[in-house]
Amino acid sequence: MKPLPLPTLSLALACVSAVQLLFASCTGGNTSTGNVPEDPAKVSASDVVVPRSEKGRAPNIDQSTPENVLATIKDIIVTDALDSLRLLCKEGVSTGPPARLMCSIATEDMDQIDKFRTWFSGARIDSAAIVTGDTALLPITLSPSHPTLERHAFMKMVKSEGSWYLNEMNWKQ
């Protein structure tokens, strides 16, 4: 096999470095995560893992537990299938204004959609849901990527026909 000319080799190394930077930005800056070698000169095409976009994939809708409803909301954001949020709502159950807004967020203006994505993409569960009969309170933290702006809330859900549906959102004091 004939060696590559210097300009071609330089371009190849630059591309590998760009892929490493992209990978580092997706893994929090650690290029040694996964199978990406530290030395770009030793990288082959089979070594580089390029994250696939999740957009266009059908979201995983799981309403079997209150915790899974929050995971579903986050998956809907990742897949950019905001119209699927309406599946987490039910007539007569989703009565609170925050729940109604989430259910119809796909029809809102881009500012509202961006705010929703910002706050809920980093949402996390604080503790297990408090379930009483067919009602659950799920303690969560909403985070727009800056710890000083975190908001603590309870997502209230109601179980109907075996599935959990959004009902209300109450902010912790």
What's the CATH number where 134 sits? 3.10.450
Same domain, 83 and 116: yes
Based on the domain organization, do 115 and 73 belong to the same domain?
Answer: yes
Q: Do 43 and 111 reside in the same domain of the chain?
A: no
Residues 42 and 73 in one domain: no
Residue 59, in any domain of the structure: no
Per-residue pLDDT reduced to its tens digit, 51-64: 444 666 888 899 99
* Domain around 11: 6-47
Same domain, 78 and 136: yes
Task: Show Cβ contacts of residue 93 under 8 Å, excluding neighbours closer than 6 positions.
Answer: 158, 160, 165, 166, 167
**And the tokens for 145?**
């990527």
E strands present in the chain:
124-125, 130-132, 135-142, 151-160, 163-171
pLDDT digit string (tens) for 69-124? 999 999 999 999 999 999 999 988 988 888 888 889 888 889 989 989 988 988 99
Task: Give the lowest-confidence range in 3-7, 8-12, 95-99.
Answer: 8-12
